[in-house]
Amino acid sequence: MIGALLAAITYFIISYVKSPWRKLPPGPRRLPIIGNAFQLSDKKWLLSKDCKGRFGEVMYLDVAGTPVIVFNSFKSAFDVLERSANNYSDRPQLIMAQKVLNKGVLMVFMNYDAHCRRLRRASQAALAKTAVRKYYSIQTREATMLASALLENGASVVMSILYDYPPLTSAHDKAIEGIEVYNDRMTRATSPGQYLVELFPWMMLIPKRFAKWKREGLKHGDEHQELFQGLLNRVKVDLDEGGTRPSFCASLLQENDRDDLTEQEMAFLAGLMYSAGAETTSTTLIWWTLAMMAFPEVQRRAQAELDDVVGRSRLPTFDDAPHLPYVRAVVKEILRWRPVTPLGVAHAAKEDGGAICMGNVWHSNHDRAVFGDDADEFRPERYINEKGELLTGPTEGNQDNHLTFGFGRRACPGKHLANDALFIDTARILWAINLERTRDENGNEMPLDTDSFEGSGVVIRPLPFDCRFTPRFPEVSSILAEERIQYGV
């Protein structure tokens, strides 16, 4: 018995010494049982300089017994989530957001299994760098409308690309309103602490007549499926009647012999692309507008490049992109400087106890070890070499110059579409318009706050601000009007 006891003690001592959890990375103090769960209900504190200063490049949190590792530097995030993608491509379990509200078929929250890979192959084929060129005319049309009115919100172009939806003439479109409701529900469902079932999965066994949250969630899931299926059916009918105009849904339907997706999967895949695309693109443009006013020297340099390459007799096009390196650098810099999803979507490890891993995109994109001491400043010229050419990425394997589009096998499949949209919007707005600060009654420029933001940390946007738009030269309005006539809008 004494020998057995000594053997057991020796085993536990060795296990303790070798345990990877014995020396955890630093992190905030944890409460009994729930750990740091409440601290993740509002993630804004993770973006503060104090957070990285106190806890360093790698931080540990505990959410009711589930280990959470946060990577606060470019290198740590890239090394683990990109270079070790074999182990870190799963997702944490989200019962409400995935199983209830999205019928279990939403790609973004799936583990990286055969089902997920099938959906990603279909979306990547439809949104590949060469495939998205067929959407240039749609993006160009919407950029023209945006430059003309500066009242659009990003929804119209995304709906056109996904569903061949007609240009929006009102923000009160039923489909748009339905998807905005879906986005609101998904934001709540993915917020830690919103639903107890995420901490206690056994609650899914409770009959729905005794669980209001479950009744409402299943009802909402049915509404989402009806909405997305209805939009997919519009495209099906058009194709059956001989329609040939390009759209994401048309690509899925036409290539389904290869992809073998169910209609439910196609419907929710397109819905995911809208949810991920419309809000992020429009919010990025809001940050971009703020940057153009806060850093007028950037605006002037981009406009000078546009005048040299394009002139003032026509609007810029995608054909001009290779000759507009600074304008393209502006796009890279706004995505780096103010990533609208600063913590991305959490990964989960296949090993390491299923630890949740979060790449802190905000701190990674402002990492001084990669971007220099001026990492907090908006400087597109950081991507321009001495020959005036656009530089490649700062890390081998990453050519985006930032980590805003995510990591490894879970990187955003729509990034080429997003880059194209931001390029043509930037080029056409700056070609046509001066963006200026408003002034007070004494003629002094009003101050701008480029550091504060609103949002829970899932998606962040700047605080409301005023902006003054003026045409750059007298012919702008007539040239824009002629182009709109060509597009029939």
User: Which two three-digit tokens encode residue 23?
Assistant: 């020396």
249 annotated to bind ligand: no
470 phi and psi angles, rounded to 5 deg:
-135, 145
- Rounded CA-CA distance 461/482 in Å is 34
Bridge partner list, 139: none
How many CB atoms are closer than 10 A to CB 287? 21
Residue given tokens 């579409």 in the structure block: 417
If we measure between CA atoms, which residue out of 234, 102, 262, 241 comes closest to residue 162?
A: 234
Q: Would you call 357 helix, strand, or coil by DSSP?
A: strand
If we measure between CA atoms, which residue out of 172, 175, 137 comes closest to residue 157?
A: 137
User: Which two three-digit tokens encode residue 107?
Assistant: 């790609």
Q: What single letter denotes the amino acid at residue 235?
A: V
Question: Can you give the length of the chain in residues?
Answer: 489
User: Which two three-digit tokens encode residue 209?
Assistant: 């007549």
User: Which two three-digit tokens encode residue 427?
Assistant: 């080029």
Residues 6+ apart with CB under 8 A from 463: 449, 452, 453, 454
If we measure between CA atoms, which residue out of 454, 443, 449 comes closest to residue 466?
A: 449
Residue given tokens 């804004």 in the structure block: 44
C-alpha to C-alpha distances, 451 to 56, 64, 359, 364, 376, nearest whole angstrom: 21, 32, 21, 17, 10
If we measure between CA atoms, which residue out of 422, 424, 437 comes closest to residue 469?
A: 437
Q: What is the crossing angle of helices 136-149 and 155-163, to 10°?
A: 160
The DSSP code sequence of 274-314 is HHHHHHHHHHHHHHHHHHHHH-HHHHHHHHHHHHHHT-SSS
Where is 70: in which H helix or E strand? strand 66-71
Contact 285, 268 (CB under 8 A): no
User: Which two three-digit tokens encode residue 368?
Assistant: 């001084």
User: Rounded to the nearest 5 degrees, what angle is found at the Cα of 482, between the Cα atoms of 416 and 320?
Assistant: 35
Per-residue burial over 226-262, b = 16 or more CB atoms within 10 Å of its CB, e = otherwise:
ebbbebbeebbebbeeeeeebbbbbbbbeeeeebebe
Q: What single letter denotes the amino acid at residue 431?
A: W
Annotated binding site: 412
Annotated binding site for heme: 412
